[in-house]
Amino acid sequence: SQQGEEDPQALSIQEGENATMNCSYKTSINNLQWYRQNSGRGLVHLILIRSNEREKHSGRLRVTLDTSKKSSSLLITASRAADTASYFCVRSSSGTYKYIFGTGTRLKVLA
């Protein structure tokens, strides 16, 4: 399968803790994005990291990318109940118009 793999599949943490989810892929990428989906609704873009970048921050989000290991991680710091959602990594390759989604991590933040 071309799909990226994410782990863990599900994660449950207490409010205020950090949440880390990982994404691995098999082919070279142009960039990698993370999206959030609340309970069967449409996806919302969170952050994009390019293949020549190693780390990127946006508010409480920190994304890292290791192209040698073909993996990325998303860290959400000081999590809130409102962060409860599914998180997907999405990759694209240069020269194509296709997007490959990971299988997602279901995050539950307990108040």
Partner 1 sequence: EAQVTQNPRYLITVTGKKLTVTCSQNMNHEYMSWYRQDPGLGLRQIYYSMNVEVTDKGDVPEGYKVSRKEKRNFPLILESPSPNQTSLYFCASRGSGTDTQYFGPGTRLTVL
**Nearest Cα to 49, choosing from 36, 62, 32?**
32
Q: Is 71 an interacting residue with respect to partner 1 (CB under 8 A)?
A: no
Between CA 22 and CA 20 the distance in angstroms is: 7
Residue 97 identity: Y
Q: Is 103 an interacting residue with respect to partner 1 (CB under 8 A)?
A: yes
Between CA 51 and CA 31 the distance in angstroms is: 5
Q: Of these, 30, 55, 66, 78, which contacts partner 1 (CB under 8 A)?
A: 30
Q: Is 42 an interacting residue with respect to partner 1 (CB under 8 A)?
A: yes
For partner 1, which stretch binds (CB under 8 A), given 12-20, 38-46, 55-63, 65-73?
Answer: 38-46
- CB within 8 Å of 30: residues ≥ 6 apart: 50, 51, 91, 92, 93, 94
HSE of 37, CA atoms in CB hemisphere, 13 A: 16
Q: Of these, 24, 70, 101, 108, which contacts partner 1 (CB under 8 A)?
A: 101
Q: Of these, 63, 65, 88, 109, which contacts partner 1 (CB under 8 A)?
A: 88
Which residues of the shown chain bind partner 1 in the complex (CB under 8 A)?
2-3, 30-31, 33, 35, 40-45, 48, 88, 92, 97-104
